[in-house]
Structure 1
């Protein structure tokens, strides 16, 4: 954005928006997120609206993406054609005039055919922005302006301006979908992973791939779900013969487990859909439609059961009982802590709890432990450095969402001299996790050595190191050994 004179409450000043367009060596976080979540693909048309110096344009072009850009300073003659995806990357936060800010958002939305991806800087960055309070933001010494959005403020602002149902991808990045079907397809992918079909080159390998699908999903696939290479490999095999081969090859117990898993995933999706705005049956992803037809008597019945699940999320006693009955995670007097690898092993109502917070306020890009409070409704995603490699990983960041108010809090521990650390890592995992036994052995050795005699002293790095010295021990990987004399 260009230079503009703005009349403030006390003085006039020049806004040098062009100085906020930083040079990047790699894709911006919003563009990387959109690629990772398949919002941008090779056949997607992309418009970078307010593209600054054009670094995302160059990087996406190198990946084979059809991308154009426009910027009033750096690319004033760039094409502004309607595109599948429109990127509005760190633009709204540098516009000091609230009416112009809303106008820029509406213009970007008008050019959006499928999804508008809006990103801004967030209010937890305030310490890094040096300047004076001005209007609804900060005027820096470089004469640039920053309106730092709260996470819930950004989602509400985009939703109210575009009149579209929005989803928080990660904190500070909002997806506004033009069609309900695209929004619901995105939500479904966050809950129900896309099937990974086996390669096939003949009828035998094609049948094997279909059997694997049936055991995983709990039902046979429809032709609309099968990739072209599977259909081609089946050749002239008749439908009845195919069904006979499937019935003869499947493990019936695995099919039953797959059906249960698909039923619960469908309920979770429909409950989350209601939380974010429920669409028509025809707008649901095709695979979800087939699951509903296979595992429920009707869409109405499936929605009714999903609604009951969402209501249970408000019941403190039910949530606490679910936490006590969870086969994965560490339960404390106030919360359940679960590792990312075990999140699918907790009760469905608790998975819904975590997903609701993620959709409302964004799940951070990096985390490995989630904390679900049962006193009130709050979710925290914690990122411990090198969880698998470090026997007692250090906490690097915490991101918390209060579901009652949708207010968020982010804390970085990177510069902390005495960081919190983790003990008894196996407690956060599912019992069958391949690393659980190794972590158990370390915990037993540390207990026998007396390292847990003073729990209050070992919560941080310095206290833990002091207890190791007191007990004459040191760690070598996940083994506890006697400390060598120094």
Structure 2
């Protein structure tokens, strides 16, 4: 099979005569902004250039971000086949082969003689951003799309990943000192480019990473799964002989009831015929289950699944909402069972979505929240608490996630109450350190569809996080431990104000002045010999 237009690792190009200045955005958190603006002179003489594309290939110690995303989201496993179109050194392929995933790849420099073939999943990883010819870039994307049977994953460099140094403008990108070309997209720009070229929705997986599905039902199932909360199966309260005698079919039935929040359709439960044969109907079997577990947990599960469905339907409005018959059969059953019909369901979902744009509604929802730390301008919570929020706030955060994708490093989420912004904040070792340092912050602005990145990883004196317990659900395994530290610090008058960004050096001076030191998650009197 022909490799298509993406066939050489370098090409010749010529610098055009253009304006003497350009705007280049570079990351610089020390300036307290996500990007600083530099004006740099262009080369103004016509001269031939050889773009060394192969120099952009990186030898990674682990999976690339797009492959990590597919593994995380359950889209790639041993049952799938993957083709890496522009695989570079092939590290992803080596690691996937060690997991017994059927995969192959082609690269114009490192695997030029490999067969280019179809696969269920095609990965186009950091290829588009190194092709300086706009027409060839488009052809490479379309070629990758033609090779995939189910899913195309595309990754490209985005603006806040640009290095903090001057780079010369070249075409619609920049020319690096290594004679390579880089096109830095904004997240929104990359999405629009993929959708305009392929005519399909591009789903954000992470910053700079998108999924494009061939099958509408598979796409909708994936989107719905993002908002389907994990719920534990209710425990049995009493013993019942009939239940014990039929435990082999009733326990799988309970799992299914928990997953769907309703009586499953025949095709959704493997044991349907056997249960009907023993009890006469699924409803009769469910009554027995309610007897041994109580009815209230199942009512709560049904309510949560109704909310999950509304969140999904609201966020599906971002693009053209699918028709009922385009939805997976399971979701069609959900619509009928929980909301009575698709028109009613969409109406309720739209009402919630439109309220997301109302700062007053968001503010009141933040004030009603039973989890998280409420400060003057935001509700701040640990990502594990997100599922406890009411549907309006879940949709608010879902709008931001639909733009930026999943940010695996972020474990704290800040829902701004008035500005239409959502921040994703990374505090490494949140569980381990009493006051973890801030590493990075990504702020998503819904009104402008912009994303700002703040990197603190090189700060010698980073801000610390306090009052960790207030970000967690009350029944979180670590909440009690964290709460005891907060109380101790408050009692000693050492606790900074909520949402205060106290630097590590300031905290160290506080402890020194009080003659205290940290021992795990508690304060102890400092010994004079220390």
Which TM bucket (shorter chain)? over 0.9
Looking at structure 2, the residues matched to 441 and 47 of structure 1 have their Cα atoms a distance apart, in angstroms, of 52
Deviation at 1:271, TM superposition (A): 0.2
Deviation at 1:215, TM superposition (A): 4.9
Looking at structure 2, the residues matched to 442 and 253 of structure 1 have their Cα atoms a distance apart, in angstroms, of 36
Over residues 429-475 of structure 1, what are the superposed CA-to-partner deviations in whole Å (9 max), with x where a residue is unaligned?
Answer: 12232322222221121112121378898711111111111122211
Which of 2, 16, 21 is the equivalent residue of 2:9? 2
Which of 314, 321, 327 is the equivalent residue of 2:370? 327
Aligned to 2:75: 39
Question: What aligned pairs does 1:1-80 form with structure 2 within 5 A after superposition?
Answer: 1-9=8-16, 10-80=46-116
Aligned to 1:99: 135
Provide the aligned C-alpha RMSD in A: 2.4
Cα gap change, 1:279/1:439 in structure 2, threshold over 3 Å: closer, same or farther?
same
Looking at structure 1, the residues matched to 120 and 258 of structure 2 have their Cα atoms a distance apart, in angstroms, of 36
Cα gap change, 1:223/1:193 in structure 2, threshold over 3 Å: closer, same or farther?
farther
Over residues 298-347 of structure 1, what are the superposed CA-to-partner deviations in whole Å (9 max), with x where a residue is unaligned?
Answer: 11101110010101111111111000000111111111111111101112
Determine if the alignment matches structure 1 residue 394 to structure 2 residue 437.
Answer: yes
Which of 418, 440, 456 is the equivalent residue of 1:413? 456
Cα gap change, 1:339/1:14 in structure 2, threshold over 3 Å: closer, same or farther?
same
Give the TM-score normalised by the residue count of structure 1: 0.93
- Does the 8 Å CA contact 1:327/1:431 hold for their aligned counterparts? no
Determine if the alignment matches structure 1 residue 245 to structure 2 residue 285.
Answer: yes
Give the TM-score normalised by the residue count of structure 2: 0.85
Looking at structure 2, the residues matched to 316 and 115 of structure 1 have their Cα atoms a distance apart, in angstroms, of 37
Looking at structure 2, the residues matched to 457 and 256 of structure 1 have their Cα atoms a distance apart, in angstroms, of 41
Over residues 67-100 of structure 1, what are the superposed CA-to-partner deviations in whole Å (9 max), with x where a residue is unaligned?
Answer: 2212222222322233221100010111111121
- Consecutive unaligned residues of structure 1, counting only runs of 5 or more, are none
Cα gap change, 1:102/1:456 in structure 2, threshold over 3 Å: closer, same or farther?
closer
- Consecutive unaligned residues of structure 2, counting only runs of 5 or more, are 1-7, 17-45, 235-243
Q: Which moved more, 1:79-88 or 1:368-377?
A: 79-88
Which of 210, 214, 222 is the equivalent residue of 1:186? 222
Cα gap change, 1:289/1:358 in structure 2, threshold over 3 Å: closer, same or farther?
same
Question: What aligned pairs does 1:297-376 form with structure 2 within 5 A after superposition?
Answer: 297-376=340-419
Higher relative contact order (CA 8 A, sep 6+): 2
Number of matched pairs: 481
Determine if the alignment matches structure 1 residue 384 to structure 2 residue 391.
Answer: no
Looking at structure 2, the residues matched to 423 and 120 of structure 1 have their Cα atoms a distance apart, in angstroms, of 36
Looking at structure 1, the residues matched to 501 and 404 of structure 2 have their Cα atoms a distance apart, in angstroms, of 32
- Does the 8 Å CA contact 1:216/1:254 hold for their aligned counterparts? no
Looking at structure 1, the residues matched to 403 and 298 of structure 2 have their Cα atoms a distance apart, in angstroms, of 34
Which of 223, 233, 238 is the equivalent residue of 2:266? 223
Looking at structure 2, the residues matched to 452 and 237 of structure 1 have their Cα atoms a distance apart, in angstroms, of 63
Over residues 332-365 of structure 1, what are the superposed CA-to-partner deviations in whole Å (9 max), with x where a residue is unaligned?
Answer: 1111111111101112111111111111221212
Q: Secondary structure in 1 aligned to 2:439? A: strand
Cα gap change, 1:266/1:94 in structure 2, threshold over 3 Å: closer, same or farther?
same
Looking at structure 1, the residues matched to 233 and 68 of structure 2 have their Cα atoms a distance apart, in angstroms, of 25
Deviation at 1:202, TM superposition (A): 9.1
Q: Secondary structure in 1 aligned to 2:185? A: coil
Over residues 138-186 of structure 1, what are the superposed CA-to-partner deviations in whole Å (9 max), with x where a residue is unaligned?
Answer: 2222211111221111111111111111111011101111222121111
